[in-house]
Amino acid sequence: MENAPHVDGARRIGMESVLTKRLKKLQRYLPLYILMVPGMLYLLINNYIPMAGLIIAFKKVNFTKGILGSDWVGFKNFEFLFQTKDAFIITRNTILYNGGFILLDTLVAVAIAILLSEIRGKLKFRFYQGTILLPNLISMVVVSYLGLAFLKMDTGMLNKTILPLFGMDEVMWYNEAKYWPLILTITHVWKSAGFYSVIFFAAVLGINPAYYEAATIDGANKWRQVVSITIPLIRPVIILMTMLGIGRIFYSDFGLFYNVPLNSGLIYRTTDVIDTYVFRGLMQLGDIGMASAAGLYQSLVGFTLVIVSNYLVRKFSRDDALF
Amino acid sequence: MMDNKLWRWGANVFLSLFAASVIFPFLVLFMSSISSDSSIYQHGYSIIPRDLSIEAYKYLTHNSAKIMHAFGVTVLVTVAGTLMSLMITSMLAYPLSRADLPYRNTFGFAVFFTMLFNGGLVPTYLMYTQYFSIKNSIWALIIPMLLMNGYSILIMRTFFAQTIPPEVYESARIDGGGEFRIFRSIVLPLSMPILATIGLFQTIAYWNDWMNGLIYLTDEKLYNMQNLLNQILLNIDAIASLDSTISATAADIPGLTIRMAIAFVSVVPIMLSYPFFQRYFVRGITIGSVKG
């Protein structure tokens, strides 16, 4: 009791010095915070405001009232969206295409990576790797031109040269939905396999050559070595890339589904994915309600998938998890 | 030994086939662009030009104003965008790399979270057009992809944290260097490899971008090369609009070959410079794929 005033005083002095210490520290780091301002401001505008803007899915946007002032309509936009067949079609297409892409990308890219590791000769190696990677450097618009050279209905190479060679009839490629799953899959793998192969190749290179030497001495042939050494040792990378792919399965490569089919209305059944649906709703149909509902649906499911797939990666290999 | 030979042979066959599948379409593109329009009408696009003609290229050089303009927009946007993006990215990544920065994890999470969740096209579009009037301005091609994503920030942060020892900061501070000076004259010069790598990817992204133009531009004067290509792709009559002098209709113009010629011209710069940056591109993919 007697000591109380004294303790109180000491505490006050302590608090003051803590405060000045904090201020001093802040002052010392102020320049660093200033450096961060443009980037943080940009993320706030470009990323965080649109996140908050997702609420427009629950509004009927009226530009005269402004976006914030528009009337709330509850789940109306979602009711409309999920009443149509569109919701089912775009979800199905998105998942089936991207699921197939993950599978085929991995398969082809692992094959390329393993075979590249067999190539001796620097120039030859650079030629193969460089050429296989080239499609990755080209925009989807240019890829669509390449597609056009083959698929154009009156002058395309398939209809004019290749199909007649086999005595087959012309095909109206841009009007017939059934061919597009194949066309889009080939185009995607052609464009992306090289990219993934670089990642798998790095993993293959990282394998200790002693394993192969031992296997050769034991009389294991190449195929055996690939199956029992290479694949098991790059498996962590394969699983990681697959998980990352699953986390992004709700997002599609817009250009592939919009430009390569030339936005042809007759084949939406097999080419429409969530991204193209949202784009068309917003930019061409002016149906903001529907587009924003589909957009929120994509953001939420996409987010959930990222979290789930990351949880799985974490269980499997802690170091490779994103968080 | 026999086994080894067989494998190597198989590897060469498979990789050659894949490489051929890449080269072949570009060859068709080029060969079609140096054919005459009438031969294309008759025989279709082909790998062998039946009737050599540089009609398409002549037409493009005569009506090059619009193309050169679009090309200029591409160059301007690519250079300005890449520089701005490198500046902002490194300025944000550097403080985040400092282990002693108070609230570092909070800021780090704010960056990271943008990689997990996003508002998507509709709110982004409405915000940029309603509140920032970005529509039909050159900023529409630069701003919306400035930082690309949180990946480049986090990759750069990791690079700074791993390559620059904390003692450097200490001694620089003792010598009386302010934080800005440390950043400019120590951190950045030591970080050229990562700046070059991320700069390369940004350059490619800006060069190939057509999405922003598709969303935010209706004014053709601001079209970059990809937007122009896209316009001609989806609407063949747009070729006629290349010609500013006479009111040409699509029928008068060798449209079939011009289409291919202009697409080919647009990839030439990439093809020519590719051998020089291939190594960095490959290395960049492996850095980017592993988390930052």
Q: Say if residues A260 and A140 touch (Cβ distance below 8 Å).
A: yes
pLDDT digit string, tens, across residues A297-310: 999 999 999 899 88
Q: Which of B89, B121, B185, B270 to mutate to test the interface with A (most CBs of A within 10 A)?
A: B121
Q: Does B277 touch chain A (CB under 8 A)?
A: no
- Separation in Å, CA B168 to CA B102, B174, B177, B185: 19, 10, 11, 12
% of chain A residues with pLDDT over 70? 94
pLDDT digit string, tens, across residues B59-80: 888 888 888 999 999 999 999 9
Q: Name the E strands within chain B.
A: none
In chain B, what residues touch A150 (CB-CB under 8 Å)? 25, 28, 45
Q: Say if residues B282 and A116 touch (Cβ distance below 8 Å).
A: no
Q: What is the mean pLDDT of residues A153-174?
A: 91
Of the candidates A244, A230, A228, A233, the residue with the CA atom closest to the CA atom of residue A196:
A244
Distance CA A105, CA A99 (A): 10
CA B239 to chain centre: 24
Whether the pLDDT of residue B240 is over 70: the answer is: no
Q: Which chain B residue has its CA at the smallest distance from A36's CA?
A: B92
CA angle B260, A138, A141 (to 5 degrees): 55
Which domains, from first to last, does chain B contain?
A: 64-234 (1.10.3720.10)
Domain boundaries, chain A: 4-57, 76-320
Which 3 state secondary structure label does DSSP give B219?
coil
Distance CA A250, CA A54 (A): 17
Ranges B52-56, B107-111, B146-150: which has the least confidence: B146-150
Of the candidates B292, B68, B86, B111, the residue with the CA atom closest to the CA atom of residue B205:
B86
Write down the pTM of the prediction: 0.90
Buried b / exposed e along A191-224 (16+ C-beta atoms within 10 A): bbbbbbbbbbbbbbeeeeeeebeebeeeebebee
| A115·B11 Cβ contact <8 A | yes
In this structure, what token pair is assigned to residue B139?
Answer: 């900023």
Q: What is the pLDDT of residue B292?
A: 35
Q: Which residues 215-254 of B have a C-beta within 8 angstroms of A? A: 215, 226, 229-230, 233-234
Q: How confident is the model at residue A11 (pLDDT cuts 50, 70, 90)?
A: low
B35 beta partners: B52
Buried b / exposed e along A56-87 (16+ C-beta atoms within 10 A): bbbbebeeeeebeebeebeeebbebbeeeebb
pLDDT digit string, tens, across residues A63-82: 888 878 888 988 888 988 89
Whether the pLDDT of residue A15 is over 80: the answer is: no
Nearest to A299 among B7, B45, B118 (CB): B118
Which 3 state secondary structure label does DSSP give B52?
strand
Q: Which chain B residue has its CA at the smallest distance from A123's CA?
A: B275
A76-320, what's its fold? MetI-like fold (1.10.3720)
**Dihedral in degrees, nearest 10, Cα atoms A161, A167, A169, A172:** -30
CA angle B29, B31, B33 (to 5 degrees): 70
Q: A71-72 and A59-60: which strand pairing?
A: antiparallel
In this structure, what token pair is assigned to residue B74?
Answer: 């591409």
Average per-residue pLDDT for chain B: 87
